[in-house]
Amino acid sequence: MNVEFYEKIWMWVASALLVVFLGAIFLMAGLHAVEPPSHIETLDPEALSAHPEFGNPAVKIQPDGSVVVSVVAQMFSFSPDPIEVPANRPVTFRITSADVIHGFEVVGTNANAMAIPGYVSQFTLTFRQPGEYLVACNEYCGLAHHRMVGKLVVKKEAP
């Protein structure tokens, strides 16, 4: 194909730009496992109340000191609320929905995942900054969607 000299240069520059973008993503994914939440696990959304974990969603400290938070999103609240977790320890969130699709976003942090009925979203984060955080539903779920908020409290650990 007969391509103008300057256009050829631009096409190489454009390719290089995309290689750099993708390279950065692959590097972070490969070296530090920086990935979106992609857990695969299913459950029956119509039998949540009888579920051993999500029947009574709560914060549980594991024997190794790590923290697991089970969250049920439903129209129009999160349980548990508030969620209390220690600072500077890995916290694994496990989230599902009891009815429609919701979002679980902890404002000002990297916690942001979908709560889909029948599926469990899971990701792990460490909160460095003690304090109160707003949890907001960020997927439209009905007429009170904007009122669907909760609280996450990150507590300073006892020395």
Partner 1 sequence: MTSRHSLAGAHIGVAIAAFGLASAMGVLQALSIADIDFPQRSDLLYYISVTAHGVLMALVFTTFFIMGLGYVFAQETLGRIRGRVVAWLAFVLGLAGSAIAAYTILAGQSTVLYTFYPPLQAHPLFYIGATLLVVASWIWGGVMIASYCSWRRENPGVPVPLAIHGMLANIIIWYLATAALAAEVVGMLIPWSLGIVKTVDPLLARTLFWWFGHPLVYFWLIPAYVLWYTVLPHVAGGRLFSDRLARMVFILFVLLSVPVGFHHQFADPGISAGWKLAHTVTTYAVLYPSLVTAFTIIASLEVAGRMKGAGGLFNWIARLPWGDPFFASVALAMIAFVFGGFGGAINAAYAMNTMVHNTAWIQGHFHVTLGTTVALTFMGATYWLLPRITRRELRFPFLARIQPYLWFLGIALFSTSYHIAGLRGLPRRVYTASLSGENAAPWHSLTRVAAVGAVVLFLSSLSFLIVVLATWWTGRRTEALAFQFALPLRPVTSLSIWDRFGLWTVLAVILVIAAYGYPILSLMSHPRYGSPGFKPF
**Distance (Å) of CA 98 to CA 7, 49, 73, 138, 140:** 55, 9, 6, 16, 15
CA distance 38 to 133: 24
Letters for 27-66 (x = contact with partner 1 by CB under 8 A, - = none) are: -xx----xxxxxxxxxxxxx--------------------
Is 99 an interacting residue with respect to partner 1 (CB under 8 A)? yes
CA distance 142 to 76: 8
Is 81 an interacting residue with respect to partner 1 (CB under 8 A)? no
Whose Cβ is closer to partner 1: residue 52's or residue 159's?
Answer: 52
* 103, 74 contact by CB (below 8 A): no
* 139, 97 contact by CB (below 8 A): no
Out of 85, 141, 152, 154, which residue is the one contacting partner 1 (CB under 8 A)?
141
Q: Which residues bind partner 1 (CB under 8 A)?
A: 1-4, 6-7, 10-11, 14-15, 17-18, 21-22, 25-26, 28-29, 34-46, 75, 99-101, 103, 105, 107-108, 110, 112-114, 116-122, 134, 136-149
